[in-house]
Structure 1
Amino acid sequence: MKLPRVVLVLMGMMLLLAGRSSAQDVKTDYDRNANFTQYKTYSWGQVQTQDPLMVNRIKSAVNGALAAKGFTEVSSGGDLTLVAMETTKNQQTLDTFYNGFGGGWRWGGFGDATTTTENYKVGTLVVDLFDTNTKQLVWRGSASDTLSNKSEKNIDNLDKGVEKMIKKFPPEPKK
C-alpha cells in the first residue's frame, strides 16, 4: 500500500513543479537565399525598450553570443546591422478546481468549484539582422518568457533566451 502512496506523492510534486515552471518560447527564421558565409562583422542599429537599463543588457547578451560564433562588432558599417525590440505584455490565467464528495449513484454527489485568477507579465525580445548593403532582413530571432519580480532572474532568462536564439546562427549553407 505504501508504494502507490509514494507514486501519488511523486506525481503530485511533478505536476506542481511542471505547472510552476516557465519554458522560454524561442523562434528563429531566416532568408533562405542569403549567403551567411559573407557576414563577419556587425554593428548595432536601434534597440527599442521601455526600460532604458535593458538596452545595455540586450546588447551585452547578443554581443556575447555572436562573439562566441566568431562575429566581430564594429562601431558602424558592419556586414550586418542589428535591431532589437523588447516588449512586455500582461497575461492572465484562470484555474478552476472542482471538489466534490458523495457517491455518484442514485441521487448523485455534492460539490463546488473555485476559480482563481493569476496575472503575470510576459517579456518578448525580437532581434533582427539586416544585410547592411541591401537593407534586407536576413535573420530574425525571438524569445518570450514570463517575467519575474527579481531583476537577476530576468537578466539570466535574457541571457539564456539569446543563447538559444543564436545557437543555430548562422544557418547551415545550402547544399
Structure 2
Amino acid sequence: MQRGFRISLAVLGLALLACGVTLAQDVKSQSMPGTDFSKFHTYKWVTVEGAKYPNQIMDAQIKQSIDSQLATKGLSKVENGPADLYISYQVAVQQSTQWNAYGTGGYRWGGGMASATQSTINTGTLVLDFYDPTTKQLVWTGSATKTLNPSSNQEKNQKNLDKAMAKLLKAYPPK
C-alpha cells in the first residue's frame, strides 16, 4: 500500500515538473552602460554572417512582431539609407523530452494505476541585438526563451511570438 502511494507521488512530481517546464518563459536583456538611448529614432534590419535564421515565413513573422513593438517605442524602420540603429536577430531551437503523467485510484483502496508518456518539445531561443552603426558597438541585447508548441495554426504561432516580443522589449529602452 505504501509503495503504490510513493509511485503515485513520484508520477505526480514528474507531471508538475513537466508543467513547470512547458509554462516557463525566460526573458533577459543587457545594455551598454553610458549609452544615450534617446538619440535612437530609426533602425535598419541587418543580417549577421554565419547566424542561424528560420525559413522565410517565420523570418517575416519575427520581424513583423519586433517591428510592431519598436513602433510603440517610437522607433521607425528605414529600408534604405542611414539609420540610428542596426538590428539583427538569431534563433536556436533545441529538443527536450517532456513527460506527461497521470494516475488513477488512490492509496486507501489499494493501489491504483499510474502512467507516464514521453513526448519531444522544442525549446526556442531568440536573441535580439541592437548596434550603434557610428561606434560599431553592441548597445542592447535581449533574449527570449520559450517552450514552443509547434502548431500548424499560423495565427496561434504569431500570437505566441507577439507575446514573447512584447515581454522582451518591455526592457527597451533601459531606464
Which of 54, 73, 96 aligns to 1:91? It is 96
> How far has the Cα of 1:58 moved from its partner?
1.3
> How far has the Cα of 1:167 moved from its partner?
1.2
Structure-1 residue corresponding to 2:66: 62
What pairs with 1:73-92 in structure 2 (closer than 5 Å)?
Answer: 73-75=77-79, 76-92=81-97
Larger relative contact order (Cα-Cα within 8 Å, sequence gap ≥ 6): 2
Structure having the higher Rg? 1
What TM-score results when the alignment is normalised by the length of structure 2? 0.73
Q: Which consecutive unaligned segments of at least 5 residues does structure 1 have?
A: 1-11, 104-108
**Matched length:** 153
Distance between the aligned counterparts of 1:157 and 1:69, measured in 2? 20
Q: Which consecutive unaligned segments of at least 5 residues does structure 2 have?
A: 1-11
Distance between the aligned counterparts of 1:98 and 1:163, measured in 2? 38
| Cα RMSD after superposing both structures | 3.1
Which of 148, 152, 155 aligns to 2:155? It is 152
Change (3 A) 1:160 1:111: closer
Structure-1 residue corresponding to 2:25: 24
Distance between the aligned counterparts of 1:59 and 1:102, measured in 2? 56
Structure-2 residue corresponding to 1:52: 56
> How far has the Cα of 1:114 moved from its partner?
4.7
Distance between the aligned counterparts of 2:165 and 2:74, measured in 1? 16
> How far has the Cα of 1:36 moved from its partner?
1.0
